[in-house]
Amino acid sequence: MNEKVISVHNLVKKFGSFVANDHLSFDVYKGEIFGFLGANGAGKTTAIRILSGLSRPTSGEVIVAGYDAHKQPEQIKKNIGYMCQKFSLYEDLTVKENIMLYGGIYGMKKQLIRDRTKNLLERLRFEEYGDRLIASLPLGLKQKLAFSVAVLHEPKIVFLDEPTGGVDPITRRQFWEMIYETAARGITVFVTTHYMDEAEYCDRVSIMNEGKIEALDTPAGLKQKYQAGSIEEVFIRIARPGKN
């Protein structure tokens, strides 16, 4: 697991005089599940926008899927997948139409889209839902489908922004099993969440505070270093210094 798919060195992003990302440096490896945590306003969204080719760094080196975030953001976009809780699929299109749309956006050939659609629906045991509108599906099914669509084009990395908010415990576990399966196939999974128990599912976790990465290690390593029983305790100590 030594191939780097994200390599960030001294990333700085400023908005006017405000430093949103203050010299971030980290690497993420092929097939890794990487948790990206931080308080509201810590600078996570800014960093993710840069990593996904939507915004340029002010300075520093950022290589994602082998491409430079300064010069090749369009190449980055083609080689990543993205899913967030708030928006993922078009509610007024059917399951198949959504898959066709996303496959088309990623420039996949029609035959390939058809093959992957069949495969995807079988794997999720979704065959009967193919022609149903997204709006008519329960939340849990939508989330699982959205994740499958985000990796339809076999990207090198998939970014998940609070993917399991509000789903029931069984669906949440099925979702994490899909994440494990995807990572085992060699796709890197980059996850943000406010919920610290989710962090414990990750291979490694970084915690941001005020634009800086304050900690980065395996969940077990972080708990040991901060002598804490959970990642939640570690997080609170980092993001609320002095009070604990």
Partner 1 sequence: MTTKTIISADRLSKSFGAVKALQDISFEVAEGEIFGFIGPDGAGKTTLFRIITTLMLPDEGKVTVLGLDCVKGFRELRKNIGYMPGRFSLYMDLTVEENLNFYATVFGTTVKENYDLIADIYSHIEPFRKRPAGKLSGGMKQKLALSCALIHKPALLVLDEPTTGVDAVSRAEFWEMLKKLRKHNITILVSTPYMDEAMQCDRVALIQEGKILSVDQPGKITAGFSRKLFSIKAPEKYQLITALREFPLVNTAYPFGDSVHVTFRDDVYDDSLIGFLEAKGVSGVIIAETRAGIEDRFLELMEKK
Provide the binding-site residues for partner 1, judged by CB under 8 A.
Answer: 38-41, 138-140, 162, 165-171, 173, 176-177, 180-181, 183-184, 194-197, 200-201, 219-220, 232, 235-236, 239-240
Among candidate residues 51, 38, 105, the one with its CA nearest the CA of residue 78: 105
Tell me whether residue 76 or residue 189 sits nearer to partner 1 (CB atom): 189
Which tokens belong to 102? 């996303």
Q: What is the rounded distance in angstroms from the CA atom of residue 8 to the CA atom of residue 28?
A: 9
Please name the amino acid found at residue 43: G
The CB-of-114 to partner 1 minimum distance in angstroms stands at: 28
> CA-CA distance, 173 to 164, in Å (whole number)?
9
DSSP, collapsed to helix, strand or coil, labels residue 112 as: helix
Least separation in angstroms between CB 95 and partner 1: 19
Q: Rounded to the nearest whole angstrom, what is the least distance from the CB of residue 128 to partner 1 in the complex?
A: 19
Q: How far is the CB of 200 from partner 1 (least distance, A)?
A: 3
Residue number with CB closer to partner 1 (28 or 167) = 167
Residue with Cβ nearer partner 1 (34 or 235): 235
- Rank residues 53 and 163 by Cβ distance to partner 1 and give the closer one: 163
Give me the least distance between CB of 37 and partner 1, in Å please.
8
Structure tokens that stand for 147 in this block: 């994740």
Backbone torsion region of residue 97, taken as left when φ is above 0, otherwise alpha when ψ lies between -120 and 50, otherwise beta? alpha
Residue 136 CA from chain centroid, whole number:
26
- Whose structure tokens read 């889209």? 113
Between 57 and 163, name the residue whose CB sits nearer to partner 1.
163
Query: How many angstroms separate the CA atoms of 229 and 222, rounded?
Result: 10
Rounded to the nearest whole angstrom, what is the least distance from the CB of residue 170 to partner 1 in the complex? 6
225, HSE (Cβ side, Cα atoms, 13 Å): 14
Contact between 81 and 159 under an 8 Å Cβ cutoff? The reply is: yes
